[in-house]
């Protein structure tokens, strides 16, 4: 079975870009399958309401647990005999890293729960944490607040899908990327890259890259990666 992704959202249109580029091709090639589900399909009232006021008071609305429970049960039942990795997008979650993407690519069934407003009633997370065949993670893509989990889901899916064998034409290009290079100081960002022409607007390609000496080039690139990592944000 290839990797299967289910996304539950009140804005299915956010996921149109998944038809494009490498992810679209991976879908067509059958390397992955993706289904987008409208949470409102799980509501019974005419307005399709999915939220309510928070117990204890406070601003904003909280997403009701029942539509979420139904939607998650449905996608789990459609994918029997696998562990369901439920990813709940929230700025209060663990931070997305390359390491986490490397772990998640091993999961056969990923379910993304895209919360909106002030988030999803926490009992949804609590319930599935102790449900059979489920693993639950609350994930954030960074220390800032988005309007909902849709964009965060696209980011995480792209980070995962490009790691699936066959998705990227030349798998060697995954080896020397930012956050994959390991130095004595920990994880490094990637060294800077150059292509033709040799001189552009007076700026020259460093001599060492033209030398053909692979040892020297590797050493130079590692130094540059270290410098770039040290200078991040400066």
Question: For binding to ligand ADE (CB under 6 A), which residues are involved?
Answer: 89-91, 140-142, 144-146, 148-149, 152
Q: How far is the CB of 97 from ligand ADE (least distance, A)?
A: 13
Query: Got the DSSP string for 124-169?
Result: HHHHHHTSTTEEEEEEESSSS--SBSHHHHHHHHHHHHTTSTTSSS
Q: How far is the CB of 78 from ligand ADE (least distance, A)?
A: 25
Q: How far is the CB of 118 from ligand ADE (least distance, A)?
A: 10
Q: How far is the CB of 36 from ligand ADE (least distance, A)?
A: 17
What residue spans of 41-120 are helical by DSSP H? 65-77, 98-104
Q: How far is the CB of 101 from ligand ADE (least distance, A)?
A: 14
Rounded to whole angstroms, the Cα distance separating 157 from 153 reads: 6
Q: Which of 11, 10, 119 is nearest to 62 (CA)?
A: 119
Closer residue to ligand ADE (CB): 151 or 187: 151
Count the Cβ atoms, other than its own, within 10 Å of residue 64. Answer: 18
Helices and strands, counts by H and E, the chain? 6, 11
Rounded to whole angstroms, the Cα distance separating 89 from 54 reads: 19
56 torsion bin: left (phi>0), alpha (psi -120 to 50), beta (else)? left
19 DSSP assignment = G
Q: How far is the CB of 223 from ligand ADE (least distance, A)?
A: 34
Q: How far is the CB of 87 from ligand ADE (least distance, A)?
A: 10
Rounded to whole angstroms, the Cα distance separating 175 from 48 reads: 46
Count the Cβ atoms, other than its own, within 10 Å of residue 204. Answer: 11
Closer residue to ligand ADE (CB): 100 or 146: 146
Q: Is 10 helix (H, G, I), strand (E, B) or coil?
A: coil
């Amino acid at each position: 079975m290839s990797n299967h992704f289910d996304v539950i959202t009140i804005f299915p249109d956010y996921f149109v870009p998944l038809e494009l580029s490498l992810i679209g091709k991976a879908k067509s090639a059958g390397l992955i399958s993706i289904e987008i589900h409208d949470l409102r399909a799980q509501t019974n009232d005419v307005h399709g309401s999915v939220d309510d006021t928070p117990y204890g008071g406070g601003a904003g609305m909280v997403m009701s647990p029942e539509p979420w429970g139904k939607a998650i049960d449905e996608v789990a039942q459609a994918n029997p005999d696998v562990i369901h990795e439920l990813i709940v997008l929230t700025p209060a979650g663990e931070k997305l890293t390359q390491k986490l993407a490397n772990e998640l690519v091993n999961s056969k069934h990923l379910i993304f729960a895209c919360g909106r407003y002030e988030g999803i009633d926490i009992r949804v997370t609590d319930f599935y944490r102790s449900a059979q065949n489920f693993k639950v993670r609350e994930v954030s893509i960074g220390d800032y607040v988005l309007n909902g989990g849709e964009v965060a889901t696209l980011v995480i899916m792209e980070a995962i899908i490009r790691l699936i064998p066959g998705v990227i034409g030349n798998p060697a290009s995954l080896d020397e990327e930012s956050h994959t290079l390991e130095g004595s100081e920990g994880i490094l960002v990637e060294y800077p890259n150059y292509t033709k022409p040799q001189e552009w607007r007076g700026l020259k390609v460093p001599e060492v890259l033209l030398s053909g000496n692979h040892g020297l080039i590797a050493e130079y690139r590692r130094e540059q990666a270290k410098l770039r990592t040290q200078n991040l944000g400066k």
